[in-house]
Amino acid sequence: MKNLFILCFLTLSLAAFAQQVPPNKYGLAVVSDTLQYQALVKLDPEQELVRVTGIPIDVRYATDSNFTGKALYPYAAVYVRRPVFEELVRLQQWLAPMGLSVKIFDGYRPYRVTEKMWEVVPDERYAANPRKGSGHNRGAAVDLTFIYTKTGKELDMGTPYDEFSEKAHHGSENVSAEAAGNRRLIFDLMMAYGFVPLESEWWHYALKGASKFPLMDIPFEHLR
């Protein structure tokens, strides 16, 4: 009964918070004020965007070596909501005895970056429509692959990260048996740890219930 009361209180508090966020030009409530974000975290610690540590990262959006040809982040870091990080740590621990590791390409993505990406690739299979926002804007989605711990070599997934073609889709028959098996390994494990896939990108997974996290446009520099 106590837990139900806390849940109801939290739900009402978050709803009241959402009403304080003015809609943007598309009618979306996007948190862009750092003080509002900090207030949200006080209401619900799971809303905190934590910096990923202890897991290899390869943040190409912090360089010009990405599909936009421009650096989109001020520095190489991955931030995700606290429950996302906790599940990734659990997965990393499970993989360790197999000589494997997670490698993360991207996590939280400020809304303004989504707008820039849409200008380059206005295709909802491969980029989020700013009229809707994305799991990345909510800090609840990750782009990742698996690597061999000793060498750092990526498992063969059939295409590079951010290849926008049907070959990158889950279930594509235009990849080798090895690549298909590696994709299935990621798929099965991510599902087991509470994530759901994006059909058109083998690397993209979002935590179930991602909608509980509001869209965000807090710059990296304002996060810890």
Asked whether residue 44 is marked as a ligand-binding residue, the answer is no
Neighbours of 195 (CB within 10 A): 25
Amino acid at 119: E
Asked whether residue 204 is marked as a ligand-binding residue, the answer is yes
Contact 55, 101 (CB under 8 A): yes
Asked whether residue 170 is marked as a ligand-binding residue, the answer is no
Contact 158, 183 (CB under 8 A): yes
Q: Is the dihedral of CA 161, 198, 200, 75 positive or negative?
A: negative
Q: Of 219, 186, 220, 191, whose CA–CA distance to 202 is shortest? A: 186
Q: Of 75, 221, 55, whose CA–CA distance to 142 is shortest? A: 55
Hey, which residues are catalytic here?
A: 201
Cα–Cα distance, 47 to 35 (Å, whole number):
14
Contact 18, 214 (CB under 8 A): yes
What backbone torsions phi and psi does residue 38 show, to the nearest 5 degrees? Answer: -65, -35
Binding residues for Zn(2+): 136, 143, 204
